[in-house]
Amino acid sequence: MSSIEQELRSQPEVWRAAAALAATVPAQLPSTGERVVVAGCGTSRYMAQAAARWREEAGEGETDAFAASEFPINRHYDLCVAISRSGTTTEVIELLERLPGRSLLLTADPGQPASSLASSTIGLPFADEESVVQTRFATACMALWRAHLGHDIEDLASRGRSALSTPLPAALESFQQYVFLGRGAAAEVASEAALKLREAAGCWTEAYPAMEFRHGPISSVGTHTLVWSLGQLDEGLQADVAATGAVVEQSLHDPMVELVRVQRAAVELAESKGLDPDRPRHLSRSVILVAGSVAGTGSDGN
């Protein structure tokens, strides 16, 4: 079994552990009313975006999210939360070096350089991964964050367990294009879903906030497309998508739970193409830049 498969299957237990950890570090996590920003790269960026949406929806305070490389350094925030599994990603390190204010790092490896630059660190070593492609570290950060917001992680974990065995979309391998849609936090998780299929299986994927789909992207879809919605599509949009000939998969689950199914789909697609889902092409476990080019770390599928 691939590392990614073992890691994605452990998510329900890892979410419970993350929720238990959240209860022990409330003072490090954002307080109600604070102006907060969340940043990261790749998967960690999409988790940052979802975290921001969940916090605002919970009424906890204004929350922005940025790719670490695009951070508006002159804005004032009470707290910047950086997410990095490795703790070595160059853009995250550079952000933490330049930040004028208070910062918190969520990482799987508190022994790495990012940790010494952040004002405080929450380590999730139990969620670390062998696979280059992130699954459980990303969702463990969300479980920690959501537990702090008062979401019911036990319920999510038991639904996550069911998501490990519910059938995947029929004829999954037959499509040329995979489009993920969602609204609110699900729109951000849709971007992560698209990244999973891209990284692990080299698929042509796209992601949009659902109501943006009509504003151009719908022109590229057809019978070659699976449109996978993380949440209920409104009736009009469902009809418009169906009229293109695309196949629609619609989930009523929480997007973090549905992401587990998408991760399984990424593994299945990779294996059907004879690819190693743990070792994506041209990608290393952490992107470390030396004078503008990639030095990389860990296994590299080149």
Shortest distance (Å) from residue 44 CB to ligand F1P? 4
Residues near ligand F1P, by CB under 6 A: 40-44, 84-86, 89, 92, 132-134, 199, 283, 285-287
How far from chain centre, in Å, is Cα 232? 20
Task: Give the dihedral of Cα atoms 8, 251, 179, 194; nearest 10 deg.
Answer: -20
Q: Tell me whether residue 39 or residue 246 sits nearer to ligand F1P (CB atom).
A: 39
Contacts of 66 (CB under 8 A, 6+ apart): 37, 38, 39, 45, 48, 72
Residue 186: CB minimum distance to ligand F1P, A: 19
Strand pairing category for 289-290 and 293-294? antiparallel
Q: For ligand F1P, give the closer residue by CB, 163 or 287.
A: 287
User: In the complex with ligand F1P, which residue's Cβ is closer, 123 or 231?
Assistant: 123
**Which lies closer to ligand F1P via its Cβ, residue 113 or residue 217?**
113
Cα–Cα separations (whole angstroms), residue 157 to 163, 168, 259: 10, 19, 12
- Which one, 68 or 218, has the nearer CB to ligand F1P? 68
Q: In the complex with ligand F1P, which residue's Cβ is closer, 210 or 283? A: 283
CB 132, min distance to ligand F1P, A:
5
Residue (262 or 283) nearer to ligand F1P, CB? 283
Q: Residue 40 Cβ, how far from ligand F1P at the closest point, in Å?
A: 6
- Shortest distance in whole angstroms from residue 107 CB to ligand F1P: 8
Provide the minimum distance between the beta carbon of 173 and ligand F1P in the complex, in angstroms, as a whole number. Answer: 23
**Tokens coding 225:** 């497309």
The least distance separating ligand F1P from the CB of residue 90, rounded to whole angstroms, comes to 9
Contact 266, 280 (CB under 8 A): no
Dist. CA 208–CA 224, nearest whole Å? 18
Q: Which is nearer to ligand F1P, 133 or 143 (CB)?
A: 133
b/e map 149-178, b = 16+ CB within 10 Å = bebebeebbebbbebeeeeebeebeebebb
Q: How far is CA 65 from the centre of its chain?
A: 13
Residue nearest to ligand F1P (CB): 42
Minimal distance, residue 17 CB to ligand F1P, in Å: 18
